[in-house]
């Protein structure tokens, strides 16, 4: 089963928790055991799994990446000024595969699935959610 999440971002860089949206898709699918692929369809975004309790983790994550991959010093910046976003996306990755157990993402207690924007704000960001598995 293939579904799509669309969302708008409001900052140049931000993390957006999409765990509940993906669990909603899972719930509607009827699949109880299997695998869930979450894939962002943009070259300046990423998917991560990280802590959901302290939002400072996202801030720290983005700040650390900014120190490692600074803005405005790359050849591609002469084209559209977002080379750092492309590099961050390539390093972090556009997809994650998460096990499904009892009809939900099988994540740890403090884990959330997050969409990461590196070149916003943008409208209509697309995330493909593919579910493979069995129905009880």
Range of the domain at 11: 2-134
- Per residue in 88-131, pLDDT tens? 999 999 999 999 999 999 999 999 999 999 999 999 999 999 99
Which are the contacts of 127, defined by CB distance < 8 A and separation ≥ 6? 4, 5, 6, 7, 18, 38, 39, 40, 41, 47, 115
**Structural domain total, the chain:** 1
Q: What is the CATH number of the domain that holds 16?
A: 2.60.120.460
- Per residue in 28-53, pLDDT tens? 999 999 999 999 999 999 999 999 88
Query: What crossing angle do the helices spanning 56-68 and 83-92 adopt, rounded to 10°?
Result: 110
How far apart CA 8 and CA 75 sit, in angstroms, is 28
How far apart CA 46 and CA 69 sit, in angstroms, is 15
Q: Which pTM value belongs to this model? A: 0.94
- Per residue in 44-85, pLDDT tens? 999 999 998 888 999 999 999 999 999 999 889 889 999 999
């Amino acid at each position: 089963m293939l579904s799509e999440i669309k969302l708008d971002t409001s900052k140049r860089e931000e993390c957006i928790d999409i765990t509940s949206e993906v669990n909603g898709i899972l719930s509607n699918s009827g699949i109880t055991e299997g695998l869930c692929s979450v894939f962002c369809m943009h070259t300046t975004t990423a998917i991560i799994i990280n802590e959901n309790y302290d939002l400072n983790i996202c801030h720290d994550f983005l700040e650390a990446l900014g120190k490692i991959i600074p803005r405005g010093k790359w050849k591609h910046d002469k084209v559209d000024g977002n080379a750092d976003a492309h590099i961050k996306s390539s390093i972090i990755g556009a997809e994650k595969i998460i096990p499904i157990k009892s009809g939900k993402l099988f994540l740890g207690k403090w884990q959330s699935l997050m969409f990461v924007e590196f070149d916003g704000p943008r409208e209509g960001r697309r995330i493909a959610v593919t579910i493979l598995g069995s129905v009880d």
